[in-house]
Amino acid sequence: MATTSLLNLDPVPTLLKRVRAELSADFPPGRRIRVSRAPGRLDVMGGIADYTGSLVCEMPLDRAAAVALSTRDDHDLQVFSFNLHDDHKPFTFRIPLHALATQPLDDLRRELGEPGRAWAGYLAGCLFILHEYNLVNLSDPKHAGINLALLSTVPLGAGVSSSAAIEVATMMNLVDHFDLRERLDAMTLAAMCQQVENRVVGAPCGIMDQVTSCAGEAGTLLRMICQPHELQPALELPENVRVVGINSNVKHSVGGGAYGRTRCAAFMAHKMILEQMRRAGKLHGRELVDDPMRGYLANLDPDDYKRHFRERLPEFMSGEDFLRDYKSTIDTATQVRADEIYPVQHAADHHVLEARRVRHFVEYLEEASEFPARKQSELNRAGHLMYASHLSYTNDAMLGADECDVLVDLVRAHEHAGLYGAKITGGGSGGTVAILAATTARASGAIHDVMQAYERQTGNKPDLFNGTSPGAWQVGTVVV
């Protein structure tokens, strides 16, 4: 259901102003424009463990992507970007709708992979997926063409889901344009956006980013068990407590090699542990038919993992050896490469133990809200779990970054001022550090001091993410 408040949420007013001023030939006066908006997200706990089934805790930000849609007189899709194209490259992309319907996916990915076009895949891919889901027939010559114009304030490479915000804003707009809302729900829309990222763009992300951008509630933590997406009631933060993010301005990429290698290694570990379970069952005269983990490392008890399986996993393993002995994994977003070396035991350590860390993090925050006398100690316990998660990102997931270590160390030095904990977010390897903090002036001053000290030590100017806003499904779209 659309709400007029959408028109007051950044960056919607700026997008509409620029569309009318700079794209009047394609968005002519008098033609209706549908506008949508979807926020980025701050990964507070869970991060990359979403794809192994963990509970995750995410905060929708006030930084967002906005998309304007109007029809065309031809049968083409024309995409415009005001700020997400490559430097010195054209900021438009055009393709016939029937080509999106008939072109093989590999050909479409190659076309979108050409220089200056990568950004367009997040938008054009939404139409491809809608057609594939049989929700829209792009082969129908009766379909009018579509203009899509994009403006985003979610910084690229900061680890706060700039890509998910674009996908969700685009998909939300198209869903309402084609009058599909009653046939879908927020989780289905998010899952379709994940398909855009995994299959069209080619980034092996989990689903938490898209769900938060779509279904998040301002001022609360979205809680979801990623098996594949079991949404739980939003987690209210304790009174006078907030989460903020500091962008290290070290770019990260979910499509990068380190993220994919760690993800692949986690699924290799899952396959090897399952084979160990099957062998143990046969030794005791039991035939193991189903997977006791139900497809997710998060369902493996950490104590059982340490007692029975960890030492049987290789610290590192070549893809060639794994493929020879185990053939494949269950992951559809990555493939084991024969010439790659994978940190199998390290990845399993991170994912199995991270799932427990997140569960305890939620328990401590709930207890901090419920028992005021224990509030300080419970917040400290939650914060120390964030520090442990950060350390595991570096040592086990191998997705750390020196600059993010500097930020976390600086936060830890200000624990006395109401900064309870901090960790690298999302896909790691740079990006943003999430901080659990008090809302006091003293804590705000400490955050300012952390940012100044970070700039002095690294030469990078950090950005602060300290606002929140609702997800796209809640605010809907507006026609102007």
Q: Is the Cβ–Cβ distance between 21 and 429 less than 8 Å?
A: no
The runs of H, that is alpha helices, within 120-185 are: 121-132, 162-177
Q: In this predicted structure, what is the pLDDT of residue 4?
A: 47
Q: Which residues pair with 94 in a beta bridge?
A: 78
Residue 221 placed within a domain: yes
Q: How many CB atoms lie within 10 A of CB 13?
A: 13
Containing 66, the helix (H) or strand (E) segment is: strand 55-72
The answer to whether residues 34 and 82 belong to one domain is yes
In this structure, the answer to whether residues 278 and 135 fall within a common structural domain is no
173 and 265 part of one domain: no
Question: Do 188 and 153 lie in a common domain?
Answer: yes
> For 427, left (φ over 0), alpha (ψ -120 to 50), or beta?
alpha
Q: Which of 330, 346, 362 is the last residue of a domain?
A: 346
Say if residue 201 is in the same domain as residue 274.
no
Residue 101 · residue 131 · CB < 8 Å: yes
Which of 277, 312, 346 delimits the end of a domain?
Answer: 346
Please tell me the predicted confidence (pLDDT) of residue 253.
65
Residues 72 and 40 occupy one common structural domain:
yes
- The C-alpha atoms of residue 354 and residue 350 are separated, in whole angstroms, by 6
List CB contacts of 62: < 8 A, sequence separation 6 or more. 10, 39, 465, 467, 468, 469
CB of 46 within 8 A of CB of 208? yes
**Same domain, yes or no, for 163 and 209?**
yes
Stretches in the chain below the pLDDT threshold 50: 1-4, 86, 88-90
**pLDDT of the residue at 1:** 43
Pair 262, 231 in one domain: no
Q: Are residues 206 and 71 in the same domain?
A: yes
Residue 151, amino acid: L
* Same structural domain, 137 and 273: no
Domain annotation covers residue 378: no
Q: Please answer whether residues 42 and 422 qualify as being in contact, where contact means their C-beta atoms are separated by less than 8 angstroms.
A: no
Enumerate the β-bridge partners of residue 59.
42
Counting the structural domains of the chain, the total is 2
Q: Which residue has the tokens 């809640």?
A: 474
Angle formed by the axes of helices 208-215 and 186-195, to 10°? 140
Specify if 188 maps to a domain.
Answer: yes
- Supply the residues annotated as catalytic: 209
* Residue 152 shares a structural domain with residue 229: yes
> CB-hemisphere CA count at 13 Å for 84?
28
> Which residues are within 8 A (CB) of 24 and not within 5 positions of it... i.e. 6 or more apart?
none
In this structure, is residue 400 part of a structural domain? no
Strands 432-438 and 241-247: antiparallel
Question: Which range marks the domain in which residue 163 is found?
Answer: 4-235+469-479
Please name every residue paired with 278 in a beta bridge, in sequence order, or none if there are none.
none
- Domain termination site, one of 346, 369, 387: 346
Q: 424 lies in a domain? A: no
According to DSSP, residue 417 is labeled G
> What SS3 state is found at 282?
helix
- Tokens standing for 476? 């809907």
Q: Spell out a b/e string for 338-362, using b for 16 or more CB atoms within 10 Å of the CB, else e.
A: eebebbbbbbbbbbbbbbbbbbebb
Mapping DSSP to helix (H, G, I), strand (E, B) and coil, where does residue 384 land? helix
Give the CATH number, domain containing residue 172: 3.30.230.10
| C-alpha distance from residue 92 to each of 14, 95, 349 (Å) | 19, 10, 44
Q: Do 190 and 331 sit in the same domain of this protein?
A: no
